Amino acid sequence: MIRGFYIKSGEVHWEKNPDAFHDQEKGRIIWIDLQAPSDHEQRLVEEEFGIEFFTQQEAAEIESSSRYFEDDNIFEANSAFVMHQEGSYITRQVSFILKNDILFTLRRTEMKSFGETVRKLKTFRSTTTKAIQIWLLLLETQIDYDADFIEFLTRTTNVVSKRLVKEQSIEEEVLLRITELQENTIIIRESIVDKQRLVSSLLRSYAIEDPEKERLRTIIKDINSILQHTQFSFERLEYLQNTFLGLVNIEQNQVIKIFTVMTVVFMPPTLIASIYGMNFKVMPELNWIAGYPFALGMMVLSSLAFLWYFKRKKWL
């Protein structure tokens, strides 16, 4: 699908799958958004405007040349946008090209940040008149979503922390939940760092005018704030993971201690039974009428003595 956004009489208008991109009646084109386009649609835009989008493999590479490129009259960039899908967080690459004051975006799926950006353009039609402003609006909107994701993970971490610390729950589900939260935090952090590199590159460009640079500085501050929050969240999750493992070790030690105590308690009775189980001919206690009760009494008393000693030492 192709969406074309036009400036006419100082306001933004848009059309889905336009028949012609250059139409004086529609106004000056400012943004072309390609969402899961067919090969024909992508080739049509590339040939019409003399551009070439990154392939999916190139867009996913982490080399700086694949993430950002700037020439005399063109900006090319790729950025990872985080999405919440089927209960988990994933990243999808978005390609940007800015040429002749026209923004081109290519994505392979529907994204809430794009829908929210379009809604903002409809609400404030007269305040966004340049392609770079739409690009910055897209980045600002996605960063707001990233902040919401981090806040949601923080609330979920609070629930897990309460269950672990107050209820001392050491079920396997808790550890898996902590690991899942760590993975999601890493995904969001990597996406934020990727945007930080992009915004920093735009901020260093001489082609970006001062008003847009001021917005970029504000975006950088927001990104740094989110990065600090993600670092705190990750450290907290690591603390919870260590707490979980500590509780598991304590429980295992309790079990081992019980087995150790039981072993020591039954050692004296075992020794007494072994002595009187020897097959020697001369053993006076064998002919003693009270020998059997005496041996049983010694077994019980020796076990009780050890139990009393352990209780006194507070080992039980």
Question: pLDDT-derived band of residue 302, with 50, 70 and 90 as boundaries?
Answer: confident
The pLDDT value given to residue 58: 66
Structural tokens at position 174: 């808790």
Question: What is the rounded average pLDDT of the residues 103-117?
Answer: 87
Question: What is the rounded average pLDDT of the residues 152-174?
Answer: 77
Cβ neighbors of 205 (< 8 A, separation 6 or more) are 70, 75
pLDDT digits (tens, 9 = 90+) for 175-215: 788 888 888 888 888 888 888 888 888 888 887 888 888 88
The pLDDT value given to residue 169: 62
Helices 112-123 and 131-165 cross at an angle (nearest 10°) of: 130
Distance CA 281, CA 271 (A): 19
Domain 2-249 carries which CATH code? 3.30.460.20
The pLDDT value given to residue 25: 60
Q: How far is CA 215 from its chain centroid?
A: 27
Question: What is the rounded average pLDDT of the residues 76-83?
Answer: 85
Q: How far is CA 232 from CA 72, 83, 137, 228, 277, in A?
A: 41, 22, 27, 6, 66
Question: How does 44-70 read in b/e, with b if 16+ C-beta sit within 10 Å?
Answer: ebbeebebebbeeeebeeeeeebbbeb
pLDDT exceeds 60 at position 229: yes
What's the alpha-carbon Rg for the chain, to the nearest Å?
35
Hey, where are the domains in the chain?
A: 2-249, 266-312
Question: pLDDT-derived band of residue 159, with 50, 70 and 90 as boundaries?
Answer: confident
pLDDT exceeds 60 at position 64: no
The pLDDT value given to residue 26: 62
Question: pLDDT-derived band of residue 168, with 50, 70 and 90 as boundaries?
Answer: low
pLDDT digits (tens, 9 = 90+) for 230-244: 888 888 888 888 877
What is the pTM for the complete model shown? 0.74
Distance CA 36, CA 127 (A): 29
Distance CA 175, CA 146 (A): 25
pLDDT exceeds 70 at position 261: yes
The 3-state DSSP class for residue 127 equals coil
Amino acid, res. 255: V
Cβ burial of 303 (10 Å; 0-12, 13-18, 19+) is middle
The pLDDT value given to residue 115: 85
Dihedral pair phi/psi, residue 308, rounded to 5°: -65, -40
Structural tokens at position 63: 């080399």
Instruction: Write the DSSP assignment of 85-114 as a string of letters.
Output: ETTEEEEEEEEEEEETTEEEEEESS--HHH
pLDDT digits (tens, 9 = 90+) for 15-57: 777 666 666 666 678 888 888 888 888 888 888 888 888 777 6
The pLDDT value given to residue 126: 61
Nearest to 93 by CA among 138, 135, 55: 55
Distance CA 96, CA 135 (A): 8
The 3-state DSSP class for residue 206 equals coil
Percent over 70 (pLDDT), the chain? 90
The pLDDT value given to residue 162: 79
Question: pLDDT-derived band of residue 9, with 50, 70 and 90 as boundaries?
Answer: confident
pLDDT exceeds 80 at position 287: no
Instruction: Write the DSSP assignment of 22-36 as a string of letters.
Output: -BTTTBEEEEEEEES
The pLDDT value given to residue 271: 83
